[in-house]
């Protein structure tokens, strides 16, 4: 993870911040999976103190936020704030065969938040721990070496991160009839070579990875929280961040020093970076 390169400065990380006015609901008792993963650090935002301090605050427990928070917790005290609930115990999330149901579910309990784009397109976005990885089609592939170079990332660290993700979440898919026909059709249309099953980004046709296992069970980014340090990470569910607090950063850009979040009964909570943000030391 690039987190290894973040140095010792405390930072506010906005994994994703969407303006949202969602109706939050109560978390029920932790499901079997949550207990199996021993997620004792996952709590309801109602139980959050009015004021608290952390080395890192990650806003949004989605596809990026969960692995980021887990990695940062190796060396620092981390708070992860997610407006949705747990992904476990809901077959619309966990079963491949209910993929479309989660997207169709418009209730305030739904892990998918229905919205209409500025162009009028009806769409859905994640509102659940694990984020889009709880709703998406589960296709997995690595980026091309050229993409990684252009982004200026450390290719060795990127590869190590891919392996970390792949060990936990990525499976080789079965290729049933429709997919076989599409595969053959692409090759017949000249989209060659046939690269077979590979996670590499290659020209031609290939069979990529999937986050659904052979039993059709979805594995999500929330599972990465198993890798977190259980005493250095705190996760609040049904915690909707309403404000990021900034102070002037001299000649440079403003510096974030905290956030305000609201729980499911409208209670406001303030969280600040230890040391005031920017130049603070971690640990
Ligand atoms: C139907 C569908 C199919 C897709 N198929 C694929 C696919 O096959 N393969 C693929 O690679 N990608 C696919 N994607 C895209 C992929 O899922 C997303 O690009 C990815 O999940 C984005 O990750 P993220 O961490 O940036 O955001 P998200 O995973 O969306 O995480 C954002 C998180 O922030 C939380 N949040 C938002 N606002 C607040 C707030 N104010 N306070 C607190 N929390 C907040 C949200 O609840 C959410 O959990 C698909 C997406 C969809 C919707
Ligand atoms: C799954 O989705 C369907 C329809 O989209 C909805 O009626 C149902 O309540 C959802 N199930 C769960 C467990 O949330
Ligand atoms: C990273 O992995 C790719 C294959 O996915 C390989 O081509 C590349 O040489 C690797 N880079 C480094 C620095 O190990």
Nearest ligand to the C-alpha of residue 142?
A: 3
What pLDDT score was predicted for residue 32? 65
Residue-range domains of the chain with CATH: 2-136+219-281 (3.50.50.60), 174-207 (no CATH)
Cα(33)–Cα(88) distance, integer angstroms:
6
Q: Which residues contact 57 (CB under 8 A, 6 or more apart)?
A: 12, 13, 78, 79, 81, 258, 259, 271, 273
Residue 15 CA, ligand 3 centroid: distance in Å: 26
What pLDDT score was predicted for residue 251? 81
**pLDDT, block means (10 residues), the chain with 283 residues:** 36 37 36 67 96 98 98 97 96 96 92 96 96 97 97 97 97 96 98 98 97 97 95 97 92 91 98 76 38
Q: Is 269 in the pocket of ligand 3 (CB under 6 A)?
A: no
- Tell me the pLDDT tens digit for each residue of 104-119: 999 988 999 999 999 9
Contact 261, 271 (CB under 8 A): yes
What pLDDT score was predicted for residue 35? 65
Instruction: Give the ligand 2 atom nearest the CA of 92.
Output: 1
Ligand 2: residue of 31, 87, 102, 106 to mutate (most ligand atoms within 8 A of CB) is 102
The residue whose C-alpha atom lies closest to atom 2 belonging to ligand 2 is 101
Residue 131 CA, ligand 1 centroid: distance in Å: 5
Cα(231)–Cα(257) distance, integer angstroms:
23
- Tell me the pLDDT tens digit for each residue of 142-192: 999 999 999 999 999 999 999 999 999 999 999 999 999 999 999 999 999
Residue 173 CA, ligand 1 centroid: distance in Å: 22
Contact 249, 278 (CB under 8 A): yes
Residue 160 CA, ligand 3 centroid: distance in Å: 9
Give the predicted TM-score (pTM) of the model.
Answer: 0.88
What pLDDT score was predicted for residue 178? 96
| CA end-to-end distance (rounded Å), the chain | 19
Ligand 2: residue of 90, 110, 135 to mutate (most ligand atoms within 8 A of CB) is 110
Among candidates 153, 124, 4, 126, which has minimal Cα distance to 74?
4
Q: Is 15 in the pocket of ligand 1 (CB under 6 A)?
A: yes
């Amino acid at each position: 993870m690039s987190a290894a390169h973040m140095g010792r400065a405390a930072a506010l990380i906005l994994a994703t911040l969407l303006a949202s006015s969602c109706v939050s609901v109560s978390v029920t008792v932790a499901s079997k999976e949550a207990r199996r993963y021993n997620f004792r650090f996952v709590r309801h935002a109602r139980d959050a103190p009015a004021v608290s301090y952390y080395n890192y605050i990650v806003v949004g427990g989605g596809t990026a936020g969960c692995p980021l928070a887990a990695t940062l917790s190796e060396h620092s005290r981390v708070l992860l704030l997610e407006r949705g609930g747990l992904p476990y115990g809901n077959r619309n999330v966990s079963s491949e065969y209910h993929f479309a149901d989660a997207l169709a579910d418009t209730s305030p309990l739904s892990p998918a938040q229905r919205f209409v784009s500025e162009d009028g397109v009806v769409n859905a976005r994640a509102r659940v721990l694990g984020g889009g990885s709880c709703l998406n089609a589960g296709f997995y592939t690595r980026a091309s070496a050229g993409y990684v170079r252009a982004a200026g990332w450390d290719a060795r660290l990127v590869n190590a991160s891919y392996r970390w993700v792949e060990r936990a979440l990525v499976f080789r898919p079965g290729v049933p009839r429709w997919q076989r026909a599409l595969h053959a059709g692409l090759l017949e249309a000249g989209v060659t070579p046939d690269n077979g099953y590979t996670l590499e980004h290659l020209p031609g046709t290939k069979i990529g990875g999937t986050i659904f296992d052979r039993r059709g069970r979805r594995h999500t980014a929330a599972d990465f929280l198993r890798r977190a340090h259980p005493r250095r990470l705190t996760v609040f569910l049904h915690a909707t961040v309403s404000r990021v607090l900034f102070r002037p950063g001299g000649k440079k850009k403003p510096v974030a020093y905290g956030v305000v979040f609201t729980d499911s009964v409208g209670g406001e909570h303030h969280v600040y970076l230890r040391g005031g943000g920017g130049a603070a030391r971690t640990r």
